[in-house]
Chains A and B, each alone.
Chain A
């Protein structure tokens, strides 16, 4: 029995993006952000939305943490731990992918 593991591992160097089947979207009717995944709708809070918006396939996790630490003038280590925990949670559920190198 071959169990293919498609859950990616999140480290400081990863460049995560939402998987093709996980869509971050602003729900105009309810005025909230949602993540659409198979058979479910997730409601990310403001910070989670910010993190996911920074997951653009170019920045790695380290750089995302840099942006947030500067934006909130907050403790880098604490932010780093929170960001990684959230991304791991999403990765665990199969909703994140590793950005592919896009060389011309």
Chain B
């Protein structure tokens, strides 16, 4: 017999996946399955002001957000077309007063739910109510290993202490905990301490993600870009920790792609295995997709999710490999990385259809690499904090 467990990502390779529930129309989407997991940004409101926030520069206001009933309908649709897991994110998802009701509905329709939170608004009662509503997993973001840097990056006093406390409630309630730490030039020296912090918090997983430069992070690039020495040192620290903490803490490490030779397989390929729902219900190929001007994104208020996944021009524009220019078109890796990241190509070259400059074969790769080196060696420290006012420059006192 020999029972086996395999990772189900291979399920996605099956062309027929999940499409039984879809309207059948001729489109490229027919060759792709329905994502196993979807990210729902419930709101862009957030008490934190992190300078690398993954939300767009133009934040969606509270009044534009989907209502409780609209989110419930969305969750039902997701379950019906074959989505299995839902990541509730933001902004800060706990800023939604109806979060417990939304999580309960996810449970009722059979979705596995994950809360991606800054945790600063959580109380023990709130977390208990979420656990009772069927929440399966909690991911808490940390901005550093101690309050000095962490509170400065978050732009919120006492944020770090509140996160530490909330993490202890997560474990008290028996929920699995992932610690997420976003790394950059000003906190990379704390990496070893952050790994230890995750162990002390009794986390199951640690995500160590170097900043990706879109939107807010791109505006703050000069203050965030790590040096190549920091990246080398970090890789060593992570490798050593992975070996030492096997069976205790799983570590996922995301390297910064300005220093890479090959681009990342962004989102597993545009429109291939992931989509994101914005607070107002726009269906996006990734959370940064709106940085690309000239693409129109449909909302769940106008169409079914299945229809959008299959027919959206924005999704179909960069699906597969047919859209690729040279050197991608004749590249042996084109079905490995799908040409890297469209948002990065747009941010750095002005055209989303260009080769991702993170790739060594891009004509501007060398120039990007030099920019990274120059910015990393510079003395810009002050952040532009993320907010609804279009960003606020950090006061001199902190970062001078």
Q: Which residues of A contact B (CB under 8 A)?
A: 1, 3-4, 7, 20-21, 23, 25, 27-30, 32, 34-36, 38-45, 47-48, 51, 68, 72, 74, 78-79, 82-83, 86, 89-90, 92, 94
- If A1-B200, A7-B247 touch, whether A38 touches B136 (CB-CB below 8 Å) is yes
Does the CB pair B204–A29 fall under 8 Å? no
A32 to B84, CA, bound (A): 12
Query: Distance in Å from the Cβ of B264 to the closest Cβ of chain A?
Result: 17
Q: Which residue of A lies closest to B202 (CB)?
A: A4
Note all chain A residues with C-beta closer than 8 A to B17.
Answer: 29-30
Query: How many Å lie between the Cα of A34 and that of B6 in the bound state?
Result: 10
With A21-B136, A30-B82 already in contact, the answer to whether A3 and B8 are too (CB < 8 A) is: no
Which B residues are in CB contact (< 8 Å) with A36? 84-85, 112, 136
| A75 to B: closest C-beta gap in Å | 10
Query: Hey, which chain A residues are within 8 Å of B200, CB to CB?
Result: 1
Segment at the interface with A among B151-159, B173-181, B221-229, B322-330? B173-181
Q: Which residues of B contact A (CB under 8 A)?
A: 1-11, 14, 17-18, 20-21, 33-34, 36-37, 81-82, 84-85, 110, 112, 114, 136-137, 174-176, 178, 196, 199-200, 202, 204-205, 247-248
Judge whether B205 and A38 touch: CB under 8 Å.
yes
Q: Is the pair A40, B18 in contact by a Cβ cutoff of 8 Å?
A: no
Interchain CA distance A41-B12 in the complex, whole Å: 11
Q: Do residues A42 and B1 form an inter-chain contact, with CB atoms below 8 A?
A: no
Q: Report how far A94 CA is from B249 CA in the complex, Å.
A: 11
Which residues of chain A are within 8 angstroms of B8 by Cβ–Cβ distance?
32, 34, 40-43
Most chain A CB within 10 A, of B17, B174, B176, B202, is at: B176
Tell me which residues across on chain B come within 8 A of A90, comparing CB atoms.
5
**Which chain B residues border A92 with CB–CB below 8 Å?**
247
Q: Do the beta carbons of A40 and B7 come within 8 Å of each other?
A: yes
Question: How many A-B contacts are there with CB distance less than 8 Å?
Answer: 106
Does B20 contact A82, Cβ atoms closer than 8 Å?
no
Instruction: List, in ascending order, chain A residues with CB within 8 A of B7's CB.
Output: 40-43
- A94 contacts which chain B residues (CB < 8 A)? 176, 204
Chain A residue contacts of B18, Cβ below 8 A: 29-30
Please, which residues of chain A bring their CB within 8 A of the CB of B110?
25
Least Cβ–Cβ distance between B361 and chain A, in angstroms: 31
Collect the chain B residues with CB atoms within 8 Å of residue A35's CB.
Answer: 5
Shortest B205–chain A CB gap in Å is 7
Min CB distance, A21 to chain B, in Å? 5
Closest Cβ neighbor of B17 among chain A residues: A30
Query: In the complex, what residues of A have CB within 8 A of residue B34's CB?
Result: 29
A68, B3: Cα distance in complex, Å: 12
Q: Are B5 and A21 in contact (CB under 8 A)?
A: no
Q: Is B5's CB under 8 angstroms from A86's CB?
A: yes
Q: Which residues of A contact B1 (CB under 8 A)?
A: 47, 68, 72, 74, 78-79, 82
| 21 contacting pairs across A/B (C-beta < 8 A) | A1-B199, A20-B174, A20-B175, A29-B17, A30-B11, A32-B8, A32-B11, A39-B114, A40-B7, A41-B11, A41-B85, A42-B8, A43-B6, A43-B8, A43-B10, A44-B5, A45-B4, A47-B2, A78-B1, A82-B2, A86-B3
Expressed in whole angstroms, the Cα–Cα distance for A40 and B6 within the complex equals: 11
Chain A CB within 10 Å, residue with most, of B34, B81, B110: B110
Instruction: Name which residue of chain A comes closest to B34, CB basis.
Output: A29
Distance of A27 Cα from B81 Cα, bound (Å): 10
Contact B84 A41 (CB under 8 A): yes
